[in-house]
DNA sequence: CGTAGCCTACTGGTCCGACCAGTGCACTAG
DNA sequence: CTAGTGCACTGGTCGGACCAGTAGGCTACG
């Protein structure tokens, strides 16, 4: 009874085919970052389409963060190294459109950072450990230099941990979510009246986390990292959302009430 | 000496201005999902640009998953509800370009799913619990129906847990990463010789997870969820990557060797 | 009177040709 | 040999044109 199964014909736009081809060329390595695409006028010849179509394809590729074009450049569009920009953009727009709360973002960071520390404690190399130490050292120095330097060193520490986790996806997500969170609270953090005390406490917490990572105690490192994150941001999270964050804290078995 | 500080002029392309305006209109709620944009020919009047420029802007908006246009539609482009499509696309392209391994993806799922269960155990409502039970029930029924039905029910269970976590970001990331992983191993899972045994074991694991969630034992639920994920996928992960996955398993304090 | 079918007025997709403002490089004049 | 100029490109924008769809009104037939 069932003859040949016909599939609904998906009408494919010309510019989509171009996007596909270029995308595949990049993913397959035929085009590597830094290389240039032919000029739009060349491409219209190669693809046998008009320049408008080529341009629409390039717009899509550009929106996805794969290429960049600059007017007047004697070469064509430049193939970009992967950057999490596109990822970050869609996640940031998600944060606005879906109405992600600061609480959810911080909670997600607690999850990611905790896991990163857990993994880092078991997989870190000596060099990565040194990076973390150096970052904390810079945090200490930055207490007197001001918030920006401190924040940069703080970021460097968390990045080092994320790298040590050995999971690029964790690394990227940590980066993306952190930049969104910082964008939301940076001004408030910078203006905190008791800023210096905050910094010193944060440094102490980071030292504890580092010690756990050095000792290879993953669960402890994870717990401390979550606690550190909570302490640092809880004040900016609406009280109603804090219980959900604390649900991530009392990790070891279950703490009886 | 320093006169008025001149900022470098950032030349803004016309189509970018259009993207900005429409994007903002959507984020501010002035345009809500389901509504239609004016036709391209209308827009070129409203923005005082040519149709090419309007179209390039629409391409970008479309690439970001904000609108969709269909030829022949008597209305203009449709404003889409947020979907994780764009997010998924950039993450999928990331997976290819950055060469994310299956191991890293599964590891990330273990992290997310574990955390989702931890949170769900403490925050789930009775209704969400019922959803999870229903999903497992469908998994049982699907053992005889085949892999597709089973997989769909499995997905429904994990989605229910993610929803119960109360964190939309976790929910979305779970969805995105899962679809990438399934895309990589779906055929191998479907063709597994001992498929039925696999399914039954998976159901038993899910039941244990559900029990822990029902009892409100977050850490246990998280540990079981990670273990379930590991058991289900470890066979498809290269042996060299498995130790990194197992680093997420022996969670409770630390298991002495 | 009801409906099946056509016709029209739209839509987006594609093409073409043109012009502008930048950029880099070769060539030239000092 | 160097400083300056011009040319030959680039991408960005414009306007007009045509096509293939779609939806909905209109007509003509039953």
Q: Is the pLDDT of residue B35 over 60?
A: yes
B117: left (phi over 0), alpha (psi -120 to 50) or beta: alpha
Nearest nt to the B71 alpha carbon by C1': C12
Chain B residues within an 8 Å CB radius of A93 = 23, 27, 64, 66, 82, 86
In chain B, what are the domains?
14-79 (1.10.10.10), 85-246 (1.20.120.530)
Rounded Cα–Cα distance for residues A7 and A9 (Å): 6
Distance B8 CA to D4 C1' (A): 26
Cα–chain center distance at A164: 15
Rounded Cα–Cα distance for residues A223 and A206 (Å): 12
The A residues from 30 to 59 touching B (CB cutoff 8 Å) are 52, 55-56, 59
Strand partners, B12: none
Distance from CA of B234 to the nearest CA of A (A): 16
- Name the residue among A89, A104, A252 with its Cβ closest to that of B169: A104
Q: Is the pLDDT of residue B256 over 60?
A: no
CB atoms closer than 10 angstroms to residue A31: 18
Radius of gyration for chain B, computed over Cα atoms and rounded to the nearest angstrom: 24
If you average pLDDT over every residue of chain B, what do you get? 88
Local confidence band at A128 (pLDDT 50, 70, 90 cut-offs): very high
Summarize pLDDT for B69-82 with one digit per residue, the tens: 988 888 889 999 87
- Name the residue among A62, A89, A172 with its Cβ closest to that of B94: A172
Closest Cα in chain B to A121: B247
CB proximity list for A41: less than 8 A, separation 6 or greater: A51
Rounded Cα–Cα distance for residues B200 and B183 (Å): 22
Mean pLDDT of B10-28: 89
Q: Is the pLDDT of residue A90 over 70?
A: yes
Strand C positions with any atom < 7 Å from protein CB?
9-18, 21-25
| Bigger pLDDT: A2 vs A156 | A156
The HSE-up count of residue B257 (CA atoms within 13 Å, CB side) is 0
Summarize pLDDT for B93-145 with one digit per residue, the tens: 777 767 789 999 999 999 999 999 999 999 999 999 999 999 999 999 998 88
Instruction: Quote the pLDDT of residue B9.
Output: 61
Instruction: Quote the pLDDT of residue B8.
Output: 57
Please say whether the beta carbons of B230 and B102 come within 8 A: no
Strand C contact set, beta carbon < 7 A = A 13-15, 44, 48-53, 56, 70-74; B 11, 37, 39-42, 51-52, 55, 58, 69-77
Instruction: Quote the pLDDT of residue A159.
Output: 96
Q: Is the pLDDT of residue A5 over 60?
A: no
Report residue B209 as tokens: 């997870």
CB atoms closer than 10 angstroms to residue A111: 29
Chain B residues within an 8 Å CB radius of A112 = 111
Distance A72 CA to D7 C1' (A): 14
Whether B82 has its CB under 8 Å from any CB of chain A: the answer is yes
CB atoms closer than 10 angstroms to residue A24: 12
Eight-class DSSP state of B9: P
Report residue A67 as tokens: 């290429």
Sign of CA dihedral B90, B92, B97, B99: positive
């Amino acid at each position: 009874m069932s003859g040949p199964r016909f599939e609904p014909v998906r009408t494919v736009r010309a510019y989509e085919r171009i996007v596909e081809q270029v995308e595949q060329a990049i993913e397959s390595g035929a085009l590597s970052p830094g290389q240039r695409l032919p000029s739009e006028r060349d491409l219209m010849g190669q693809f046998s389409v008009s320049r408008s179509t080529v341009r629409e394809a390039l717009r899509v590729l550009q929106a996805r963060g794969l290429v960049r074009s600059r007017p007047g450049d004697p070469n064509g569009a430049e193939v970009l190294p992967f950057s999490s920009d596109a990822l970050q953009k869609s996640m940031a727009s998600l944060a606005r459109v879906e109405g992600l709360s600061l609480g959810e973002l911080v909670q997600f960071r607690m999850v990611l950072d905790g896991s990163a520390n857990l993994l880092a404690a078991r997989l870190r190399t000596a060099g990565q450990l040194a990076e973390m130490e150096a970052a904390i050292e810079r945090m200490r120095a930055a207490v007197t230099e001001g918030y920006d330097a401190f924040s940069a060193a703080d970021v460097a520490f968390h990045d080092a941990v994320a790298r040590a986790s050995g999971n690029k996806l964790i690394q990227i997500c940590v980066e993306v979510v952190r930049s969104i969170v910082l964008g939301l609270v940076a001004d408030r953090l910078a203006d905190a009246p008791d800023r210096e005390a905050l910094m010193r406490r944060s440094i102490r917490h980071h030292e504890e986390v580092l010690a756990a990572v050095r000792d290879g105690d993953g669960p402890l490192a994870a717990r401390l990292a979550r606690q550190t994150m909570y302490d640092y941001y809880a004040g900016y999270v609406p009280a109603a959302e804090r219980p959900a964050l604390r649900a991530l804290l009392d990790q070891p078995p279950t703490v009886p009430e």
